[in-house]
Amino acid sequence: MSISPRKDGIAAGRLAADQLAQNFTDLHPPLEPHEAHVAADRCYFCHDAPCMEACPTSIDIPLFIRQIATDTPEAAAKTIFEQNILGGMCARVCPTETLCEEVCVREVAEGKPVEIGRLQRYATDRMMAKDVHPFDRAAPTGKRVAVVGAGPAGLACAHRLAMKGHDVVIHDARAKPGGLNEYGIASYKSTDSFAQAEVDWLMRIGGITMKTGSVLGRDVTLEDLSAGYDAVFLGMGLAGVNALGLDGDGREGVADAVDFIAELRQAEDLAALPIGRDVVVIGGGMTAVDAAVQSRLLGAQSVTIAYRRGQDRMAASVYEQELATAKGVRILTNVQPKALHGNGRLEAVEFEYTEDRDGKLTGTGETVVIAADQCFRAIGQTLSGAPEGLEIAGGKIAVTGAGRTSVQGVWAGGDCASGGDDLTVTAVAEGRDAAEDIHATLTGTAG
């Protein structure tokens, strides 16, 4: 990667526009039809398929792959969308290497799984490109449901409810719907405004009203929603971020990785986006990797991910870790931040080495200083602005069963709710399952 011109500090235009465009192209280019057939032909169409068991949304994977193999990709797409209406985005962002593809019998036997994620994208892209929506809305029930949050959980919940004939109003705090799909993942995973196109396509079911810029607690309260609707689903994600707890946390050059990722996703001109020459990202999850890789792609000369435990404990998958190192990101493990140095502006981050003593993370007293003009915090997000009266467990809205909260008539799912992984696909499954439970409750068929 050629970097020109070399600039100190945080600066825009480290790379030429054509280089930036090349850097931010689709991470996994879509399969051509003949490639999809070759990939589908590798599937054994297993009975009791382990891949299906490993999918949080329980997509019938052998069925949709067989439908691709028999040249009916639209039927394959419908099989996917029946379980996961955001199957297009999940095909792009799911860590398939730790879910369906990890347990594929081809992976187990040969070390090379069927490319389930890419096949899923092939099928879903084909249907969406034809601008076809595969489901019809049932006759109106006269019931109204409020959904808070237009991220994966809220959208999946809203779509399933709308399909069943309920009227849904989604309130989302941001200017655009999509939640993490729109604001929280790396640009090279969702190119060509796919997140927006997917929301538009999903809304074609009808019966869903989208209210953006509507903040729970400011513009609307849970009390209002409970009074005005037959049920409420909360899927507002985690809007708070953890601080480093160090002096200088607010110093110029220190920022939250989620804000950087959101700004990048919304940027019209990547060449105008400032980035440091030497960047340090603190954290070990997907957000840390997304921020670090994109820093490199914007032209940062050195990028280091610093994580407090061993590499095997990083929440980012091995695939994501390898992607980072392939892009030139250094991963430094067993270090915890100790000080942010610099006179007004960040100049270096000091870390203390750590070790695991009897299961407890402990500083060794030995330190290392890494030059940095920019530092991104990626040490986790927190629930913020949860309505009063809801039981909280482990910092999230406590739920039982299919997302039932402690308040009657209020369900929750996705990252803001207790239990489950913080994955897009898990959020979709939780939103969908809560919708089924809401429907059963509203129609008096709940068990």
Per CB under 6 A, residues contacting ligand SF4 are: 43-46, 49-51, 61-62, 65, 104-106, 114, 116
Which CB, 50 or 165, lies closer to ligand SF4?
Answer: 50
Q: How far is the CB of 93 from ligand SF4 (least distance, A)?
A: 19
Which CB, 41 or 263, lies closer to ligand SF4?
Answer: 41
Which CB, 61 or 173, lies closer to ligand SF4?
Answer: 61
Which CB, 52 or 89, lies closer to ligand SF4?
Answer: 52
Which CB, 106 or 277, lies closer to ligand SF4?
Answer: 106
Which CB, 94 or 270, lies closer to ligand SF4?
Answer: 94
Q: How far is the CB of 121 from ligand SF4 (least distance, A)?
A: 15
How would you write the chain as a 3-class SS string? CCCCCCCCCCECCCCCHHHHHHHCCCCCCCCCHHHHHHHHHCCCCCCCCHHHHHCCCCCCHHHHHHHHHCCCHHHHHHHHHHHCCCHHHHHHHCCHHHCHHHHCHHHHHHCCCCCHHHHHHHHHHHHHHCCCCCCCCCCCCCCEEEEECCCHHHHHHHHHHHHCCCEEEEEECCCCCCCHHHHCCCHHHCCCCHHHHHHHHHHCCCCEEEEECCCECCCECHHHHHHHCCEEEECCCCCEECCCCCCCCCCECEEEHHHHHHHHHHCCCHHHCCECCEEEEECCCHHHHHHHHHHHHHCCCEEEEECCCCHHHCCCCHHHHHHHHHCCEEEECCEEEEEEECCCECCEEEEEEEEEECCEEEEEEEEEEEECCEEEECCCEECCCCCCCCCEECCEECCECCCECCCCCEEECHHHECCCCCCHHHHHHHHHHHHHHHHHHHCCCCC
Q: How far is the CB of 59 from ligand SF4 (least distance, A)?
A: 10
What is the C-alpha separation between 235 and 180, in angstroms, rounded? Answer: 11
Which CB, 39 or 127, lies closer to ligand SF4?
Answer: 39
Q: How far is the CB of 95 from ligand SF4 (least distance, A)?
A: 16
Which CB, 46 or 197, lies closer to ligand SF4?
Answer: 46
Q: How far is the CB of 110 from ligand SF4 (least distance, A)?
A: 10
Which CB, 46 or 315, lies closer to ligand SF4?
Answer: 46
Q: How far is the CB of 113 from ligand SF4 (least distance, A)?
A: 6
Q: How far is the CB of 96 from ligand SF4 (least distance, A)?
A: 10
Q: How far is the CB of 42 from ligand SF4 (least distance, A)?
A: 7
Q: How far is the CB of 69 from ligand SF4 (least distance, A)?
A: 10
Distances (CA, A) of 89 to 119, 154, 243, 328, 335: 13, 15, 30, 26, 34
